[in-house]
Structure formats: structure tokens, C-alpha cells
Amino acid sequence: MSNDYEVSRLNKVRQQREKAAYDRKTVHAILDSALLASVGFVQDGQAVVVPMLYGRDGETIYLHGARKARVIRLLEETTTACVNVTHVDALVYARSAFNSSMNYRSASLFGTPRLLKDPAEKLHALRAITECTMPGRWDELREPHENEVKMTGVIALTIESASAKVSTGMPDDEDDDYEIPVWAGILPLESAFKTLQADDRVIDGVTASDAVNDMQGKCL
Amino acid sequence: MSNDYEVSRLNKVRQQREKAAYDRKTVHAILDSALLASVGFVQDGQAVVVPMLYGRDGETIYLHGARKARVIRLLEETTTACVNVTHVDALVYARSAFNSSMNYRSASLFGTPRLLKDPAEKLHALRAITECTMPGRWDELREPHENEVKMTGVIALTIESASAKVSTGMPDDEDDDYEIPVWAGILPLESAFKTLQADDRVIDGVTASDAVNDMQGKCL
């Protein structure tokens, strides 16, 4: 398998091309460090965007929802869906509004959604979604009931095309503007997990596992 | 103007309806506390999702990009665009994978994009985008050059339909599962601005304004 996604009309980054990346490693790293994907599909000829949890297993992205949910039904019928995942890392305070911007890591992928029917494949996908979101959690939980698996619609989307766009560093101002006596720089934004809060109904003496405890303080 | 957006086929929340809200106040609050919108439009019959900065002024959302950018050209041609803004507030560790989820605040809106042509209206919109992202910054910066305004494509999208979906609180488990000796609760996720980092080329003695300094430590 090539290290890079092929550049086509679909995934080509047109603006600020110097920020573009097409290698799988960069795209996968962005996907693996986020929680939420913005999934786009077409309904009645118009675009609808839905935020969804997801899991990645190699070149496959798994999405899930209630079996009867609109997003699952429409993804089932869609030939190509678009998934975007973006982190904002900083506000960039430039010396002009024109050059003010953000630092970010963004990945966009395209693929043909496929509704999973085989219960074993569905379980594999649900495990991937749970483990990508809450590492170590799947094995701490009871097996899903047959009915729960039945009620869950799971979509597998093989990444057929993808690109990343990454913006880092300090403002890039117009030459003349560096003489303006205005402060410029960046304001980092950090998304971090805080302290666990237990449900009142946790059985006395039951504590969070190491895997769950270790999430505290982690940054996306 | 009604306090609520009308419920229609377009904005109706179908799953977990108890989490739905259609009032302007809830939708606006979600929009006003985020930085990035996922904007969906149709290209060649398929959905594309692009992350964009935005500003809100009443019932209008402003988006911008390079005048020649695909997203601006396609929004110009689009009759209805979809914009989603979602915050993840916590991971919800339930007693089953089926009930594991996230706490979140999500707003989806629909409207007809309109490309702004009048330079004064464009400036008003660019000010709104800058002020929503970096409060107080617009007046600290030089006036945009005529050419910068010309090179920027600005889209105004009047919110014609919208809904919010908000999930909070502790896991909602199956009755039987409360007897399982597994930890359950939530892991809050916080997005916070950290410490300003100055560009090396800031003129000696020039410091950040109060408006910029005050952003440090703020949470989304």
C-alpha cells in the first residue's frame, strides 16, 4: 500500500497548498487524536452535517447510531460520504485582520459507506469505536446483548481518498505590517480531560480501572 | 420574532428527542461559545464538509475564505447550506458499551448562503468574524486594505431553520446493569486557552492589550 493517498479532484487542497499533506501517517494521527467527526451526506439534494463518534481500524472508519436513525439510513444509501475531523490548536493574532487565523490540524476523508450486517463484524466495529474513544473500556464491560447489537446501525467506511491540512506557528504578516506597534503572536487552545466524576450508583468499593484513571489530564 | 425556530422535516431531531431544543437562545449560546463550524455543501452531487471560522450577528452567520476558494464559490451557488457546531463536554462511562456516550452541545442550522458584494457589508461581516473569534481585536488592527477586502469572499447565511441537541449528566444504564460491579461516571473534557506566546518580531515594549490578555484561561 502506498504511503500517500492519491491526489484527485476530490481531495486536492486548493488553498494554502503548503499546509497540505496526503500521507496516511498524518491523516491517521489526526483521526486518532480526536473524538468527534463531522459526517456529511446528501438528503433531498442538500448537504446535512452530523457530528458522530467514530473508531479507526487501519483504513476503515466505523460510525454508529440507532439502526433506524436518519444518518444511518442515509449513509447506507450514499455512494460517497465525507468525514472531517479538525482540532483547533491556537488563535493566531496577526498584525492585520486579513492575516489573523488559527492553527489547526484537519483531516478530510471520502469513502463509500457500507452498512454492516454480520453480527461478528458489527461487534468488531463497536469494539473499535469504544476503544478509540475510551481505551481499555471494552473488556471492562459486559458483552453487548444480541438485541443491542441489532438495534445499533454500524457503518464501515473504507478511506478511498483523504487529505490533511495542518497550520502551525506564528502569524505570517505583510512585510509593511511588521512596523506596526501592535502585539502579535498565538494563543494556544488545549483540550484536556479533567477529573473523573463517579455516578452516585456505583457499587460501594468499586473504583475506576487504571485505563480509565489514566485518561485524566490527557490532551487531545 | 418567535423565540423558537419552527420544527420542520429539515431541523427535526429524530433520535433522543428529549435532548432537543429549538429555542434561539440555546442555539445562539452554542454558536457563541465555539470557534469552528463544520459547513456542508454539495459538489458534483456529493456532500463535502469544510471546517470554517465564523461570526454571528443576530440571525446571520458570516463565513469567509479566499474569494476564489472552492468553498466560497460553491456556497455562492448553493440554495441551502448546513452548518454544525458541536462541543464535546465529557466522555460518559456507562455500565455497557451500548449506553456509553458523550455529553455534548450541538447546534445545526440551515440557511441560504449569499455572497456579499458591498464592501461596507463585507467589512461589517469581517468585523463580526474577528470579534466573535478574538474579542476586542478589530479596533486594535489597521483598517483592511481595499485589496484584502476584494480578495476575501464573505458569505452571509441567515438562519432559516435550526435545532440544538444537548446531552448532560451521568450515564443512563439499563436497570439490570446497575448491579454490575464496574465503575461508571463521566470524564469531563475542557477546552481552555493557555498562555499567550509573542511573535519574535513584536516591536520592543509593545504588549498585548487587556482584551487579548483576558482570553488566557478562558474555556470554550
Contact of A187 with chain B, judged by CB distance below 8 Å, is answered with: yes
Mean pLDDT, all residues of chain A = 94
Contact A142 B194 (CB under 8 A): no
Half-sphere exposure of A147 (CA within 13 A, CB side): 1
Nearest alpha carbon to residue B209 among A13, A21, A185: A185
- Closest to A51 (Cβ–Cβ): which among B86, B91, B140? B86
Residue A9, domain member (yes or no):
no
CA distance A108 to chain B (A): 8
> Total structural domains in chain B?
1
Residue A30, domain member (yes or no):
yes
DSSP code per residue over B51-81 = EEE-EEETTEEEEEEETT-HHHHHHHH-S-E
CA B12 to chain centre: 19
Residue A5, domain member (yes or no):
no
Contact of A126 with chain B, judged by CB distance below 8 Å, is answered with: yes
Contact B142 A177 (CB under 8 A): yes
DSSP code per residue over B152-216 = EEEEEEE--EEEEEEE-SS----GGGGGS----EEEEEEEEE---EE-TTSPTT----HHHHTTT
Residue B211, domain member (yes or no):
no
Contact A194 B194 (CB under 8 A): no
Half-sphere exposure of A43 (CA within 13 A, CB side): 19
**pLDDT-based confidence at residue B68 (cuts at 50, 70, 90):** confident
Residue A153, domain member (yes or no):
yes
Provide mean pLDDT across the span B147-156. 95
| Domain span including residue A111 | 17-192
**pLDDT-based confidence at residue B85 (cuts at 50, 70, 90):** very high
B115: region left, alpha or beta (phi > 0 left; psi from -120 to 50 alpha):
beta
B interface test, pick of A53, A186, A187, A191 with most B CB neighbours within 10 Å: A187
Mean pLDDT, all residues of chain B = 94
Q: Is residue B168 scored above 90 in pLDDT?
A: yes
Contact A40 B47 (CB under 8 A): yes
B interface test, pick of A141, A175, A200 with most B CB neighbours within 10 Å: A141
Provide mean pLDDT across the span A85-113. 96
Whole-angstrom Cα distance, residue A90 to residue A102?
A: 6
Q: Is residue A169 scored above 90 in pLDDT?
A: yes
Residue B6, domain member (yes or no):
no
Contact A196 B187 (CB under 8 A): yes
- Per-position b or e across A51-85, b if 16+ CB within 10 A of its CB: bbbbbbeebbbbbbbeeebbbbbbbeebebbbbbb
DSSP code per residue over A8-75 = -TTT---SSGGGEE-BHHHHHHHHHT-SEEEEEEEETTEEEEEEEE-EEETTEEEEEEETT-HHHHHH
- Closest to A97 (Cβ–Cβ): which among B80, B81, B144? B144
pLDDT in tens, B25-63: 999 999 999 999 999 988 888 889 999 999 999 999 999
Whole-angstrom Cα distance, residue B107 to residue B166?
A: 9
Please report, for the domain that includes residue B171, its CATH number.
2.30.110.10
pLDDT of residue A171: 97
- For this complex, say whether ipTM is above 0.85: yes
Contact of A214 with chain B, judged by CB distance below 8 Å, is answered with: no
Residue B210, domain member (yes or no):
no
Helix (H), strand (E) at residue A186:
strand A185-193
- Interfacial A residues in 24-63 facing B (CB < 8 Å): 35-36, 38-42, 45-51, 53
pTM: 0.94
Contact A198 B185 (CB under 8 A): yes
Provide mean pLDDT across the span A12-25. 90
How many CB pairs below 8 A link A and B? Answer: 281
- Closest to B207 (Cβ–Cβ): which among A93, A183, A215? A183
Provide mean pLDDT across the span A143-162. 96
Q: Is residue A45 scored above 90 in pLDDT?
A: no
- Closest to A42 (Cβ–Cβ): which among B47, B79, B100? B47
- CA torsion through residues A86, A91, A93, A98, sign: positive
- Interfacial B residues in 146-165 facing A (CB < 8 Å): 148, 152
Question: Do B80 and B86 meet the contact criterion of CB atoms below 8 Å apart?
Answer: no
The percentage of chain B sitting over the pLDDT mark of 70, rounded to a whole number, equals 100
Half-sphere exposure of A220 (CA within 13 A, CB side): 33
pLDDT of residue A153: 95
Q: Which amino acid is at B180?
A: I
Residue B25, domain member (yes or no):
yes
pLDDT of residue A159: 96
Cβ-based contacts of B213 with chain A (< 8 Å): none
Residue of A nearest to B80 (CA): A46
Question: CB neighbours of B68 closer than 8 A, spacing ≥ 6?
Answer: B153
Nearest alpha carbon to residue A126 among A111, A110, A141: A141
Residue of B nearest to A38 (CA): B38
Cβ-based contacts of A132 with chain B (< 8 Å): none
